[in-house]
Structure 1
Amino acid sequence: MKISLIVAKSKNNVIGNNNQLPWHLPADLAHFKAITMGKPIIMGRKTFDSIGKPLPGRRNIVISRDKKRMIRGCEVFHSIDDAFNAVKTEQEVMIIGGANLYLQTLSMANTIYLTVIDAEFPGDVFFPALNNNKWKLMSEEMHLPDEKNKHGYCFQVWTNAQAVV
């Protein structure tokens, strides 16, 4: 099973503020949808709460410490290991946040789909810095601001040659 992280971050590594994305980039939302469609997505409970509903066309898995938590349209697990066990026959699983889940899975991940927004934002949740000895930039696609996307952004794909599953 391939483990992939997908995340958008600002130049100052912000990924969230008050349980919300601090920006609105329709192109990044479309990119997220294209990459995750048809694949299992694993998210923390706070990330699910910020989205507010299961994402269609994907197997939605939520990690929650609350043993009684049930979420319609989602599978709820109490550890990342339990979630991985449930999807072990899948070709690829997508980790979509939040920060704690990224930290737990970064060393196991094979790929990171990273959107870097060309701006700095205030925030209270951050994406960890990538170790350049471990992660290799495989592709990069730059985009300038336009009428729908207020900020420039760059789609990057990173691979981890040292991933251990």
Structure 2
Amino acid sequence: MIIMIAAVAENDALGKNNELVWHLPNDFKRFKSLTTGHYIIMGRKTFESFPKPLPNRTHVVITRQENYQPEGCIVVNSIEKAIAICPKNETSFIIGGGEIYNLGLPYADKLEITRVHHNFEADAFFPEINPDNWREIFSEFNPIDDKHLYEYTYQTYIKK
């Protein structure tokens, strides 16, 4: 199963200048719990936004740069090759960024979205979730609190 996981603003914003534009500690914990032990597919810029590789995950990095080989990562030049490298009988995650989400959407079986209830200025965006193709099966609202400046909702969609 291929799952796309993302935190997405109301205006589909993902981030700006290769950084998230919000801080939601509970979303980081959820991301870690869902992706640990799995293959995670990402673009080069997303990989480079991490201070170091994420522990206990197999990193598959998509780039057009020849001779790009960060230590401990599998490097490919297409979404198709990235998906082909992942074990067929296990769950794998597409974790971004914007271009990789657009390329990966047709291959995804499930979407794990954290919808941040605010509009942000951004330069990377999540593709539109077309209700003709996706059915929401779970939704959990989370209010503002002392660690979260924005309301957000966990949403799970499956492909129709």
1:132 alignment partner AA: P
2:12 alignment partner AA: N
1:139 matched to 2:123? The reply is no
What are the within-5 Å matches in structure 2 for residues 21-100 of structure 1? 21-100=20-99
Stretches of structure 1 lacking an aligned partner (at least 5 in a row):
none
Query: Which residue is 1:117 aligned to?
Result: 116
Deviates more, 1:126-135 or 1:86-95: 86-95
1:114 alignment partner AA: I
1:145 alignment partner AA: I
2:107 alignment partner AA: M
1:77 alignment partner AA: V
What are the within-5 Å matches in structure 2 for residues 5-20 of structure 1? 5-20=4-19
| 1:67-97, Cα deviation, whole Å (9 max, x unpaired) | 2001012111111222222114341110000
Identity %: 38
User: In structure 1, how many angstroms separate the alpha carbons of the residues matched to 2:115 and 2:84?
Assistant: 31
User: In structure 2, how many angstroms separate the alpha carbons of the residues matched to 1:91 and 1:33?
Assistant: 17
| 1:124-143, Cα deviation, whole Å (9 max, x unpaired) | 11111111011000000000
Query: Which residue is 1:105 aligned to?
Result: 104
Stretches of structure 2 lacking an aligned partner (at least 5 in a row):
none
Query: Which residue is 1:127 aligned to?
Result: 126
Deviation at 1:149, TM superposition (A): 1.0
User: In structure 2, how many angstroms separate the alpha carbons of the residues matched to 1:88 and 1:74?
Assistant: 15
TM-score by length of 1: 0.93
